[in-house]
Structure 1
Amino acid sequence: MIKNIKWLLLVSLTFVACNNDDDNAAPAEVPVVPGTAVFTKYVALGDSFAAGYSDGALFKKGQEGAYTTILSQQFAAAGGGAFTIPFMSDNIGGLLLGGNVIAGPRLYFNGSAPVALTDKPTTEVGVHLTGTFNNLSVPGAKSYHLVTPGYGNVAGVATGTANPYFARFSSSPSTTVLADAVVQTPTFFSLWIGGNDVLGYASSGGIGKDQKGNLNPATYGGNDITDPTVFANVYNTLVTGLTANGAKGVVANLPYINTLPYFVTVPYNPLTSSLLGNGNATVGVATIKALNAQLYGPLKQALTAFGAGDRINLLSETAANPLLIKDETLTNLSAQLTAAFTPTLGAQTAAFYGQVFGQARQTKQTSDGTFKDYVVLPTRTVIGTAPTAANSGLGIAPPAPLDKFGITFPLQDKDVLIQSEITEIKVATDAYNATIEAVAKAKGLAFVDTRPIMAQLSNGGISFGNYTLSATYVTGGAFSLDGIHPSARGYGLIANIFIDAINTQFQSTLRRVDLGVYPIQYPKTIN
């Protein structure tokens, strides 16, 4: 009897304990506090990422979903104030200058491919916005542009000395982006800049220069890589100015370009028998046999005789084949090829073949991935098309059979990033990142390392709830249809990693956002 009473007492106590656990199962919500940061006056500096650029354009809905906008919304719960944005006039995107379109509208997915809206933009650069703006991020800006007087002068837009986006809202024609930020006496700032210092060069297929040793940005071309010393000087100037009155902030480094869909979506070897046969593999195999006999075979034989046989290999009938490209770093064998082909083709035709294939080779990738050519995203619509006088590099439209880009005629410099160009970009990126991290440590700023998260997006993706976010073009959800800028959900992810860095550095308890509420694509019509 006593034993049964003890058992009943144990059950009763267990029941009470379980009830107590149930009552306390939901942990007390951690209050949102700023920690040692002060979010009262937040200003954001940066380029297109910080502005909310997406799908190849800047538009109102994209600006509303920028990571900077999301941060301001989370700051509000910790004492943050208003965050004003220089909104575009519509959700079309694009710009007008004197009524003429100078930047096209955004892309949308029509069910089979990304296409541009046919609507005409309504945002006129010459219609100046008045007021003070917290988001001072400028699409297209490089690091040194943020300290360049006149970068917001509408009179300089047509000549390329000013930026049309900044010209819409600069406080004066002679001001700088940094000056318009500092005059607001911010208590907190975000700075993510430097992507465009290499991206213009990268996205153009390496058309431009590595300006290492050139410390005068006034002499740079639009696609040139910024010298790391220039970047370091400018970056220190930016952060020194922003922290002069005790403001705290968050900065971010730069991801590698091979984590962006723009550079890795088109494979280096897309030439299958099916593609070459326009969907008919049998026709494709016959095409490959003819190409090997009439073009690739004779080229391989001649180049081998000159010690350059590794430039061209015969096409496979069963495996995917590489593209034919021009590599300006190769020794030009035009004269040698002309001499080799003259007996069979005649002097004039042989000279033409020599000119076309003197620096030609096939795209490559090593088995360990240490060497790879990147075929840029726009090239996907170029492969197999006929070269014209404007884009052949010869000043004429080559006749058949040399009338198919990437197959019988080499793709040009703008179509492919070759390994030497990729190395230049990586060296500059590494140098910029070293500066960013060093300055962040010296100034006690929150530091966002974008590289691991970008690498994760490119290798399996990031799972949350029932979703997986990846860098796969169109369907992955992290990037917009231009292959470089994030989608709305991608910007939400960026906001979260910025929040994590801020919380860690300043002991704040800002809340992350739910990525599921952000779309992965904008529809054709945005209400």
Structure 2
Amino acid sequence: MKMSCFKYFALMISTLFLWGCDIKTDDFEVSNGTADFSAFVALGDSYSAGFMNGALGHEGQLMSLPALLAQQFEAAGGGAFVQPLTADGKSVGTTVINTNGDLNGYYELKVVDGSFKPVPTIGDKSILASMIGQQGPYNNMAVPGLRSFHLLTPLVGDPSQGAGNYNPFYARFASEPGVSTVLSDAMLANPTFFSLWIGGNDVLSFALAGGESDSITSVSNFAVYMNMIVGQLAADGREGAIANIPDIVALPYFNVIPYNALPLDQASADALNEGYSGYNALAASVGYDNISFSAGQNALIVEDPQLVLLPEPYRFRQMTATEKLLLSLPTEKLTTEGWGSQVPVPAKYVLALEEIEAIHAAVAGYNLLIKDLSVTYDLALVDLFSLMNEINAGTTIDGGSYSTDFVTGGIISLDGIHATPRGYAVIANTFINAINDHYNANVATININDYRTVKFP
């Protein structure tokens, strides 16, 4: 993911009341029900790997979703849970942050020019170079950046494919880089119970590119991959939990910068209207909308390659209120270089309406399939789509108010995509509740107030 300078925001820290409403282990008799947690294996992407604040690091791994689940499973017969841990105090992401080629580490909230701003630390590339596959087998087989089909191919962990053609987060702990797969490595732990949360990157990669590169995995292909994955994981009646895909367009990453981020006085608006008069005449001749400015907040001008009836240099328009700007947009260019007013914002920073609709259609198709698989293989279905909708609307959990608001919402970390430790605890409880319901178990839920949200300076 590419993370650029963010527009500064005035933030207010809301007070959280520290009373718990969850049932704890001393309130009832813990039971595994019909589930066998003795060898728990987790498969997934960055969310299950413990990615937060834009990077993978030791702190996030200790509070990863599967680690929290394993912690609660322990009292119900769960065994050891081994993760491919990074060194304490180290983290690394995927964004080049300077001319030295350094990658980001964890983002930290800093006071810059009187406002709070997420600022990346320098990542430690040694994490990606440390080959620890022989220290396995591992119980947490979640890997940042994975799509569904990546669980099935050895190429994803093969460094001989060259930089950019394999996943170094998997290669570092693959049992046999270039030979083993994420799925085959998961089976080395002889699991009795599994969790599977995969498919987010099958649409998220497209969204993070503003729909201009990468592609959405088709629902038909996703079905082929997921049937192969779940068929092997659930073989011989093995128990597990499978999670569906949230509405990723609701993430803060796509909702921080408003579509009408261009403030104008009347004189500036009049000057721009005069400047776009020729464009408007051309657009009207082929049935496209005019560009118009007025005093106040105005929709940004953005590239739109789909306006094929216009000559290529004129394929731009104003945004609509239903479209999204990515958090990676270098907002300083709105003032320093006239982006959005005199220069169209590049399409890679914009999710157009048709791209959003394609994402929603794919997620809906994925989730129907995931539900069908849960029924076919008698697995617990974890409804994270509904959880995301509840949080997006604003919700109260254990006495605290939570939302998808950037920085202050409590659930999403400073990268605008991944969870805070408390957010992962909320997700873990959603898994636990689904597992308890399906397997007639009494696994204790987590007191989410034991885990932090965003750290403030």
TM range (shorter): 0.7 to 0.9
The equivalent position to 2:267 in structure 1, one of 286, 301, 309, is 286
Contact 2:30 2:444 in 1 (8 A): yes
Aligned ranges for residues 224-263 of structure 1 at < 5 Å? 224-263=215-254
Give the match for residue 78 of structure 1: 76
Structure with the greater alpha carbon radius of gyration: 1
Give the match for residue 190 of structure 2: 185
Q: Counterpart of 2:389 in 1: which secondary structure?
A: helix
Give the match for residue 39 of structure 2: 41
Aligned ranges for residues 103-118 of structure 1 at < 5 Å? 103-111=103-111, 112-118=116-122
The equivalent position to 1:304 in structure 2, one of 284, 290, 299, is 284
Give the match for residue 377 of structure 1: 327
Deviations 1:322-355 (A, max 9, x none): 0001111113423xxxxxxxxxxxxxxxxxxxx5
Give the match for residue 425 of structure 1: 359
Aligned ranges for residues 476-515 of structure 1 at < 5 Å? 476-515=409-448
Give the match for residue 132 of structure 1: 137
CA deviation after TM superposition for structure 1 residue 414, in Å: 0.3
Contact 1:138 1:165 in 2 (8 A): yes
- For the pair 1:329 / 2:310, whether they are aligned, the reply is no
The equivalent position to 2:170 in structure 1, one of 166, 169, 172, is 166
Distance 2:261 2:44 in 1: 36
Q: What is the letter of the counterpart of residue 60 of structure 2? A: G
Distance 1:73 1:427 in 2: 36
Contact 1:126 1:154 in 2 (8 A): no
Q: What is the letter of the counterpart of residue 303 of structure 1? A: A
Give the match for residue 319 of structure 2: 363
CA shift in 2, pair 1:148/1:120, >3 Å: closer
Q: Counterpart of 1:107 in 2: which secondary structure?
A: strand
CA deviation after TM superposition for structure 1 residue 296, in Å: 3.2
Q: Counterpart of 2:140 in 1: which secondary structure?
A: coil
CA deviation after TM superposition for structure 1 residue 285, in Å: 3.7
Higher share in strand: 2
Contact 1:185 1:245 in 2 (8 A): no
Q: Counterpart of 2:156 in 1: which secondary structure?
A: coil
Give the match for residue 12 of structure 2: none
The equivalent position to 2:49 in structure 1, one of 26, 51, 66, is 51
CA shift in 2, pair 1:466/1:184, >3 Å: closer
Contact 1:151 1:163 in 2 (8 A): yes
Over the matched positions of the two proteins, sequence identity in percent amounts to: 37
Distance 2:369 2:216 in 1: 16
Unaligned segments of structure 2, at least 5 residues: 1-24, 95-99
Q: What is the letter of the counterpart of residue 225 of structure 1? A: I
* Bigger RCO (CA 8 Å, 6+ sep): 2
Distance 1:83 1:494 in 2: 19
CA deviation after TM superposition for structure 1 residue 385, in Å: 5.3
Moved over 6 A (4+): none
Give the match for residue 7 of structure 1: none
CA shift in 2, pair 1:118/1:166, >3 Å: closer
CA deviation after TM superposition for structure 1 residue 302, in Å: 4.2
Distance 1:378 1:119 in 2: 18
Q: Counterpart of 1:272 in 2: which secondary structure?
A: strand
The equivalent position to 1:32 in structure 2, one of 23, 30, 33, is 30
Distance 1:161 1:245 in 2: 35
Question: Which has the larger displacement, 439-448 or 295-304?
Answer: 295-304
Deviations 1:9-43 (A, max 9, x none): xxxxxxxxxxxxxxxxxx98320000000100000
RMSD across aligned C-alpha pairs, in angstroms? 2.2
Aligned ranges for residues 379-418 of structure 1 at < 5 Å? 379=329, 381=331, 383-384=333-334, 403-418=337-352
Deviations 1:222-249 (A, max 9, x none): x221122221111111111112243200
Aligned ranges for residues 467-478 of structure 1 at < 5 Å? 467-478=400-411
CA shift in 2, pair 1:29/1:106, >3 Å: closer
CA deviation after TM superposition for structure 1 residue 272, in Å: 2.1
Give the match for residue 20 of structure 2: none
Distance 2:325 2:224 in 1: 33
Contact 1:325 1:410 in 2 (8 A): yes
CA deviation after TM superposition for structure 1 residue 472, in Å: 0.2
Contact 1:151 1:175 in 2 (8 A): no
CA shift in 2, pair 1:151/1:119, >3 Å: closer
TM-score, normalised to structure 1, is 0.76
CA deviation after TM superposition for structure 1 residue 128, in Å: 3.1
Distance 1:456 1:375 in 2: 23
Aligned ranges for residues 56-71 of structure 1 at < 5 Å? 56-71=54-69
CA shift in 2, pair 1:306/1:150, >3 Å: closer
Distance 1:487 1:134 in 2: 22
Q: Counterpart of 2:283 in 1: which secondary structure?
A: helix
Deviations 1:154-177 (A, max 9, x none): 333x34332101111111120011
CA shift in 2, pair 1:228/1:302, >3 Å: closer
- For the pair 1:449 / 2:405, whether they are aligned, the reply is no
Contact 1:448 1:498 in 2 (8 A): yes
CA deviation after TM superposition for structure 1 residue 45, in Å: 0.2
Deviations 1:462-521 (A, max 9, x none): 212442111001111110111111111110110010011000000101111111111112
Distance 2:128 2:151 in 1: 22
- For the pair 1:264 / 2:255, whether they are aligned, the reply is yes
Distance 1:248 1:182 in 2: 14
